[in-house]
Structure 1
Amino acid sequence: MILGLHHAQITIPKGAEEEGKNFYCNVLKLEEIEKPISLQGRGGFWLQVGDKEVHVGTEDGFNRLTTKAHLAYQVEDVSYWRRVLMENNIKILDSVPIPNFERFEFRDPFGNRVEIIKEI
């Protein structure tokens, strides 16, 4: 029986951890959490997002701009995040409307698709 979602993983290019931490921890204000010692030599970093984790791994040779795969971060104020991202030169992308939700999308500095969403 599946009980729930424990974590999700995205990837960034190998060697881009500092840039990734800057974006995810400083711009999006997500908390970095310590990886288990057994995984620390593999690159990447982990983030706490509410009661879930996002694991940021590293891999090369993958075009992130060609996939629909994404994470959707649930927020209280969509306009606040739109403003923060625009101030950090992140291009805001239009999303197909979904009834009862306010949302938009963007690509992180590595091309990963990201959604900001709020139920209304």
Structure 2
Amino acid sequence: MILGLHHTQITIPKHREKDGKAFYCGVLGLPEIDKPDSLKSRGGFWLQVGDRQVHIGTEEGFDRTQTKAHIAYQVEDIMYWRSELKDIVTIFECVPIPGFDRFEFRDPFGNRVEMIQEK
């Protein structure tokens, strides 16, 4: 039986953790959490998002701009995020989903990200 979702992982290029933390912790305001010592040598960092985690791993040789795979962050004030991000990333409008407002962008590493708010 599957009980729920514990974490999801996205990747950034190796040796770009400083830039990753600047975007995810600085711009998005997500708190970094301790990564187990047994995994620290693999690079990357972990974030707390509500009661779940996002693991930012490192990986080379992958074109993140060519995939529809993405992470969606549920937000309270989508207009705030649209305003905060408009000068940092290119915002793309999404196909409408009844009951939700949403938009997408690519993070500085090419990962597809969605911001979504229930109406």
Letter in 1 for 2:117: K
Matches of 1:76 and 1:14, distance apart in 2: 32
- Structure 2: tracts of 5 or more residues without a match: none
Matches of 2:66 and 2:93, distance apart in 1: 17
Matched ranges for 1:1-120 at <5 A = 1-87=1-87, 89-120=88-119
Q: TM-score, normalised by structure 1?
A: 0.98
Matches of 1:68 and 1:86, distance apart in 2: 21
Letter in 1 for 2:106: R
Letter in 1 for 2:101: E
Matches of 1:103 and 1:70, distance apart in 2: 13
Q: How many residues align?
A: 119
Matches of 2:82 and 2:90, distance apart in 1: 9
Q: TM-score, normalised by structure 2?
A: 0.99
Matches of 2:41 and 2:85, distance apart in 1: 31
Runs of 4+ more than 3 Å apart: none
